[in-house]
Homo-oligomer: A and B are copies of this chain.
Amino acid sequence: MAESAQTFASGSPRVLVAGATGFAGALAAHLIWRHPRMELAAVTGRSEIGSALQDLYPQYRVPLEIQELEEPLLDSLGDLQAAVVGYPHAAAAPTVGMLRGRGMRVVDLSADFRLADLAAYESWYGAHPRPDLLPQAVYGLTEMHRDRIAGAQIVANPGCYPTASVLALAPLARAGLIADLVIDAKQGVSGAGRTAPVETVHLSYAAENITPYKVAKHRHTPEIEQELALQGASLPVQFQAHLVPLDQGEMASCYVTTTRRVDDAELAELYAAAYDSEPFVEVVQRPPGVREVRGTNFCRVFAASDSHTGKVIAFGALDNLWKGTSSQAIQNLNVMFGLSETEGLL
């Protein structure tokens, strides 16, 4: 049944989280731990072996100990149906390969399997450790690739910026409306991760600050371009990220030069058509704040036309750790295992 969603007659899928000491892996472990239809089999890390996860992340209340990811551990765990891998780019692929070798389906939080074009990957990230696995991978933006995710062996969980941006822009891309595009994104400090440089995440630097970073060279650019192309808009994208002083939250503000004039009524129709049946995309009628989606798997989108410039502005707001990363991984696991897509996420 490799190409369709799996249903479990008895028992819940048992899931391993590898790389649970980082922000993304820890939240994924928390969400699986409290999930009514999944079992968290083990959590592993590359440091802090032997600590309870709840000592590192008291708010998550996961009592399991961090273990080292080794074959004997895996042997001892019995049947595992899936793993979430929360390793850095390039470190993830070999581990994904090892887990695939044991027959597990994998949701990989890194960028290693997001770009279908190997050359594109290598120009942004360097040599790919396991290009042989690329054909097994499906890009895990659930709303765009739900059917293929259902049967995927490897789900490349999207970057947070591509998630917010593509959800905000897909209805315009599908309508052939995007002639030129600027995306200005803002994110809280959790997006930099637990081990980011002191100047980035220390409250004494980050508070009362706004900082653009990776000017003209953010690695999420090719990912956004790949996905917009699949929706009908092939163009170089101007993408710029900024760090703002909050913990979790992300806003993608998208400025679209359109191929023809569009008004708000047409926008409303396009967005309703795209998202009316989506459980986690909320099309709203005023600019959303990221607090509205904090700690949830929702992405709020809002689009408006500007009669002065003729452009369309579209916003995507989400929690970078949730829909932007870890809860989308659980959404994907739900799809992969034939569970209700909202299970454990409302």
* Cβ–Cβ contact B304 & A182, under 8 A: no
25 CB < 8 A contacts A-B: A58-B292, A59-B293, A59-B294, A186-B244, A188-B203, A188-B208, A204-B248, A205-B289, A207-B208, A207-B246, A208-B248, A208-B290, A209-B246, A209-B289, A210-B251, A212-B253, A216-B306, A216-B307, A216-B313, A238-B313, A240-B313, A242-B253, A245-B245, A245-B246, A295-B295
* Cβ–Cβ contact A308 & B203, under 8 A: no
Minimum distance in angstroms from A293 CB to a CB of chain B: 8
| Inter-chain contacts of A257 with B (CB < 8 A) | 180
- Name the CB-closest residue of B to A206: B203
Most B CB contacts (10 A, CB to CB) among A58, A248, A250, A289 go to: A289
* Cβ–Cβ contact A291 & B59, under 8 A: yes
Interface of A with B (CB < 8 Å)? 23, 34, 58-59, 180, 182, 184, 186, 188-190, 194-195, 198, 201-213, 215-216, 221, 236-238, 240, 242, 244-251, 253, 255, 257, 284, 287-295, 302, 304-311, 313, 315, 317, 346
Instruction: Indicate how many identical chains form the complex.
Output: 4
* Cβ–Cβ contact B215 & A304, under 8 A: yes
* Cβ–Cβ contact A313 & B249, under 8 A: no
| Inter-chain contacts of A289 with B (CB < 8 A) | 58, 205, 209-211
* Cβ–Cβ contact A244 & B247, under 8 A: no
* Cβ–Cβ contact A204 & B182, under 8 A: no
| Inter-chain contacts of A317 with B (CB < 8 A) | 210
| Inter-chain contacts of A215 with B (CB < 8 A) | 287, 302, 304, 306, 313
* Cβ–Cβ contact A240 & B255, under 8 A: yes
* Cβ–Cβ contact B305 & A216, under 8 A: yes
Q: Pick the contact of A194 from B188, B204, B313 — CB < 8 Å?
A: B204
| Inter-chain contacts of A204 with B (CB < 8 A) | 23, 188-190, 194, 201, 247-248
Whole-angstrom distance between the alpha carbons of A293 and B182 in the complex? 27
| Inter-chain contacts of A306 with B (CB < 8 A) | 215-216, 238
Minimum distance in angstroms from A33 CB to a CB of chain B: 12
Whole-angstrom distance between the alpha carbons of A308 and B181 in the complex? 13
* Cβ–Cβ contact A210 & B246, under 8 A: yes
Q: Pick the contact of A205 from B248, B291, B304 — CB < 8 Å?
A: B291
**3 closest A-B pairs by CB:** A184-B184, A216-B306, A58-B292
| Inter-chain contacts of A34 with B (CB < 8 A) | 346
Minimum distance in angstroms from A329 CB to a CB of chain B: 19
* Cβ–Cβ contact A213 & B58, under 8 A: no
| Inter-chain contacts of A293 with B (CB < 8 A) | 59
- Name the CB-closest residue of B to A287: B212
- Name the CB-closest residue of B to A311: B238
| Inter-chain contacts of A23 with B (CB < 8 A) | 204
| Inter-chain contacts of A305 with B (CB < 8 A) | 216
Most B CB contacts (10 A, CB to CB) among A34, A205, A291, A294 go to: A291
